[in-house]
């Protein structure tokens, strides 16, 4: 049972590594991630460490725009729902506290925005 909150880069790495290990093995979203990340998982994980470190610990190590690499992924609401299910269960298994809850809120907001923008661009291209 989780007894501590997210408080360090080590915690961020534990969260990211545990989450993406589950993602890679997932029947629904695993194949999409594994195809996109083929040979680039270490690079992606490093980027995710910096992203979450910036958001949760306010240590500004990430710069960039997270959305563009996701713009043309073959995903829909079902995929984002599964992503959130895995993310939330990972956070809840590993951590408890204010930043753990903040991580889940931020992830939900990001999933909503990414899905909305992907649908928008997909529909715009089909006009």
Question: Where in the chain are the domains?
Answer: 9-126
pLDDT at residue 4 tops 70: yes
What's the CA gap between 47 and 61, in Å, rounded?
9
pLDDT at 33 over 90: yes
Confidence of residue 100 (pLDDT cuts 50, 70, 90): very high
Kindly give the interhelix angle for 9-25 and 77-94, rounded to the nearest 10 degrees: 130
Per-residue pLDDT at 127 exceeds 80:
no
Give the separation between CA 73 and CA 17, rounded to whole angstroms.
Answer: 22
CATH level 2 (architecture), domain 9-126 = Orthogonal Bundle (1.10)
pLDDT band at residue 122 under the 50/70/90 scheme? confident
CA distance 11 to 58: 14
What pTM was estimated for this model as a whole? 0.92
- Name the percent of the chain lying above pLDDT 90: 75
């Amino acid at each position: 049972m989780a007894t501590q909150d997210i408080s360090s880069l080590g915690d961020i790495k534990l969260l990211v590594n545990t989450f993406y290990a589950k993602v890679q093995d997932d029947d629904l979203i695993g194949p999409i991630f594994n195809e996109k990340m083929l040979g680039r998982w270490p690079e992606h994980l490093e980027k995710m460490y910096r992203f979450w470190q910036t958001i949760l610990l306010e240590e500004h190590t990430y710069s960039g725009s997270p959305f563009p690499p996701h713009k043309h992924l073959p995903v829909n609401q079902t995929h984002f729902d599964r992503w959130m299910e895995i993310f939330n269960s990972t956070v809840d298994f590993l951590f408890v506290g204010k930043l753990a809850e903040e991580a889940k809120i931020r992830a939900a907001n990001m999933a909503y925005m990414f899905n909305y923008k992907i649908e928008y661009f997909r529909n715009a291209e089909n006009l």
